[in-house]
Every structure is written in structure tokens, then in C-alpha cells.
Amino acid sequence: MNVAVVPKQVAEVYDGYPEQVRSVLLSVRNRVFYCAKSASVGPLSETLKWGQPSYLTDTSKAGTTIRLAMSGTKPAVFLNCNTTLVDGYRSDFPTAFAYLGNRALILPDSFDETVLDICLTRALTYHRTRRERRVS
């Protein structure tokens, strides 16, 4: 998989994480780019939001922002708390992750990448899916 080079400011944040967390989050970063390509959401913007690596579908506006950071000592995927995404993940995959309210999924030491890909794809297509539902 050919993933974009990490921007300098974003790389500095990743470099500040403990090795184990950094490794997991960089792997999740690769999954975000893979899912974006698979879902045809257009190019991703990679930036910092709230000091955390963040991924946005700026051009297509297809999805909501995905942020990668730590929750306590664990790697986590943060999403806009005004979406229904985390509630949907919790309903569909109750034991796949630990959940932090309606804003994050906390990654266990071992997790199913296929389930994570489903979750990431839903985030990357959240607005597009909502628009399609309104039209039909």
C-alpha cells in the first residue's frame, strides 16, 4: 500500500507517543488511507486538530474527521461526538473495542482489522451516506 508521507508536524506528534502506541497508531493511519481509497472519498488531508493527527475528506466532504491519539495509555480512534458513529460501532461490534462515550473507540492489544476497516469506512463516508439517505 502506497501511503502518503507523514507531514513533519504530524510526524512529531507520532514520535512523542510511546513506541507501542506509535506503532499501533501508524498502522491505523495506514488503514485510514486504505479505507479512503477503497471507499473512493477522494484525497485525505492530514493535519493536527487539538494537537492530534487528524484525517479529513476536505475535497469531497464525504466523511467526518478521524483523530488518532491516546486515551489513557491506550491507542484510540476519536470521532466527532455529534455523530452516531460510536453508538453504531458499539451496537454492531459490542466486544471489538472499549468505547469512550460517543467520541472514541479504544483499541485493545489485539483487534480485528476487518472490523476496524468497517468502522473507519463508516467515518470516512458518514456525510455522503447521510446525504444519500435524504435523497432516496
- For 61-117, the pLDDT digits (tens) are 999 999 999 999 999 999 999 999 999 999 999 999 999 999 999 999 999 999 999
Residue 75 CB-half CA count within 13 A: 23
pLDDT tier, 7 (very low <50, low <70, confident <90, very high otherwise): very high
Predicted TM-score (pTM) of this structure = 0.93
What number is the average pLDDT over the span 106-135? 89
- In a domain? residue 102: yes
Does 1 have pLDDT greater than 60? Answer: no
The total domain count for the chain is: 1
3: in domain: no
Looking at residue 97, its pLDDT comes to: 97
* 2: in domain: no
Q: Sort strands 74-79 and 98-100 into parallel, antiparallel or unpaired.
A: unpaired
134 assigned to some structural domain: no
Cα atoms found within 13 Å of the Cα of residue 79, Cβ hemisphere only = 28
Residue 92 contacts residue 105 (beta carbons within 8 Å):
no
Q: Examine residue 136 and state whether it is found in any structural domain, yes or no.
A: no
Which one-letter DSSP state was computed for residue 101? T
Taking the CA atoms of residue 109, residue 115, residue 117 and residue 118 in that order, the dihedral angle to the nearest 10 degrees is -150
Q: Is residue 22 part of a domain?
A: yes
Residue 22, Cβ density class (10 Å: 0-12 exposed, 13-18 middle, ≥19 buried): middle
Q: Would residue 82 count as lying in a domain? A: yes
CATH number at residue 110: 3.90.1150.200
100 located within any domain: yes
What pLDDT score was predicted for residue 38?
Answer: 95
Q: How confident is the model at residue 136 (pLDDT cuts 50, 70, 90)?
A: low
Range of the domain at 59: 8-129
How far from 87 is each of 19, 43, 48, CA to CA, in Å? 30, 27, 25
Q: What is the pLDDT of residue 32?
A: 97
